[in-house]
Structure 1
Amino acid sequence: MATYKKGFKKQNTEMLLLKTIVVVIVSVILLVAIAFVYNAVTKWQDYKSYDQVENYADVFQMKDDADVELGDYVIYVYSDTCLSCKENKNDILRLGNKLDENIFFLLNSATLTTKDSENNTLPAYTSFLETIGKDQIPTPMLVVVVNGNFEEIHVGPTAVINTLTSIEEGTYEPFNE
């Protein structure tokens, strides 16, 4: 093989193409690894990373860490058994993560108690259903509270995502009054 003044061997196009392919493959593998690590360490993708409403009596009386009642906030109502909730979980939590800490809360309707020890319906549960105008809890649902009072609900993944997007963009009318 011929050596040149600089001591480098002349490369043919096949060798150059091979090196380019190797660099591209290594780059893709590296990007996939970075995406995997990011996904594994990102907390916003887990329901446990958000403040949970623990009973129906608290829904319209949410407080911050200093025990001061909050004015404007939303509660995303989901269920562990809801297929639509599972399918849209990442989109909804991604939007919720972008909102202020004291504005986005979660309520898992599958885990909250609706009956007392004598199998009577809890008054707080009945009151919640009456307030939202439903006879049962639809999921997914977004409950909107403005100035400490019930404003409206949005039922279904599209309505929930659109409302959260509007809140994030600052264009949600009830929060801008």
Structure 2
Amino acid sequence: LSITPPAGGLSITSTGLAITPPSGGLSITPPAGGLSITSTGLAITPPADGLSITPPVAGLLITSPGLAVATGTTDVSYQRVNFTDTAGSADVTHEALGVRMWTFGVVNDSLAENAQAEVKMQVSPDGETWQDEVSTVTISQNSLATFVPGIFLKYARLFYKAVDAASPVTLNIYFQGQL
């Protein structure tokens, strides 16, 4: 048996095994007879009322040969206020690599009833060369449109423009995903 622990993370003494997790990263409190470490591995015997695992906020990572599971979410939101550009402009670039599933949500929060925006999603493998992922969607006041990728590439962004320069548009933009 050969174990090479991280610095300060694992110590084996004459009385047993001690694991020192990163700050706030791991807490195990087994019920009596519920956790045992033997020469053949780790055995967990859950109590009769079930086993509960509460991961830290940043997610839970379980690893073994061939298995890596992580859970978590990302939620980025911002606002584009009173734009009138009818030529259009590209918005913030988001790195989607490492985000399993993600969606842009766009709400037209304009004050004028006739303020409309045309929005489309673009994707890129390198952050330089962009391809339109979906057709342009016209979003009216107080309406929501969602943009879900059909093609997976490293980067994603929205491209938007006002339909009429005389009607300022305000968009609330959300990038939400599951890690």
Tell me the TM-score normalised to structure 2 length: 0.28
**Larger helix fraction of residues:** 1
**Larger strand fraction of residues:** 2
Larger CA Rg, structure 1 vs 2: 1
